Amino acid sequence: MERNLQIGILAVALTLASCSTKDNGTPQGTTPVTLKMTDAPAYYDAIVLNIDEIEILTTNGRETIDVDEHPFDILAYRNGRDTVIAEHDVPSGMIQEIRLKLHDQGNTITIDGVTSPLTTPSGQSSGVKLKMQDELIPDIGYTLLLDFDASKSIHQTGNGKYMLKPVIRAIPVEVTGAIKGMVGPAEALPHIYAINGTDTLGTLTDETGAFYFPGVLQGEYKVIIEPTSLDFQTETLYDVNVSNEVVSDIGTIVLK
């Protein structure tokens, strides 16, 4: 009887030991994370990024993920297209910070057929910091979309060189929707804004007049189409409804 009791106590002890927890009682574990990248359109021929690594900090630890993807043209992944840049297990818990680091060499921009190097400010050698609050649950797959805003990330210096100051939005794919549409004529080259209260998203149309907003929170939006050409008038659409995991297609808008 005493031997059976000892075996029972040992079994319970082993079971508890297998459920690792922090001192505050929070379960520890890892979450399989997939990192994807997409781009908001910009009027360049190509923007090649050479990503070194991505670091994710959660309440239970820090993980540095080497990016195996070779330098790639981010402008090839627009209007709903994306590319997987890394997959790795990350300590579960609340995400505190995401840091994306670029190689010093291999980042370029092509304009009118001419390719130039993209330099990054020395102050950003530690990486681009992305703040967000989202929970990674143990053993539950999580996909994070990094939305690179090309039009806001490139700056030309006074001596004609190009500097890269990445503007990136981190989007948890599973809990958002999207807005897409077409604007004609394409030569209007409009800026598109999706507005919900004090939150404003911005993008450009591509060469065909198409636009796409990924990672849009559920809600009701006002969409403003603001042409850069003075030959066309601004158009505003109201009551554009966005639901999670749904792409809201507003169709084709022909500017006057």
Residue 229: partners with Cβ closer than 8 Å, 6 or more residues away: 187, 188, 189
Question: Taking 50 as the threshold, does the pLDDT of residue 19 lie above it?
Answer: no
Closest CA to 132 of 92, 101, 98, 173: 98
DSSP string, 157-200: -TTS-EEE---EEEEEGGG-EEEEEEEESGGG-EEEEEEETTEE
The reply to whether domains 29-175 and 177-256 share a CATH topology is: yes
Question: Taking 60 as the threshold, does the pLDDT of residue 4 lie above it?
Answer: no
Enumerate the domain spans of the chain.
29-175, 177-256
What does the alpha-carbon distance between residue 243 and residue 200 come to, in Å, rounded to a whole number?
A: 17
Reported as type and span, the H/E element at residue 15 is helix 2-18
pLDDT value, residue 125: 59
| pLDDT class of 40 with cuts at 50, 70, 90 | confident
177-256 to CATH, choices 3.90.1300.10, 3.40.50.1000, 2.60.40.1120, 3.90.930.60: 2.60.40.1120
CATH class of 29-175: mainly beta
User: Tokens for 56?
Assistant: 């994710």
The stretch 206-217 carries a mean pLDDT of 88
Closest CA to 181 of 192, 171, 173, 189: 192
> Mind listing the pLDDT tens digit for each residue in 164-200?
888 898 888 766 788 999 999 999 999 999 999 988 9
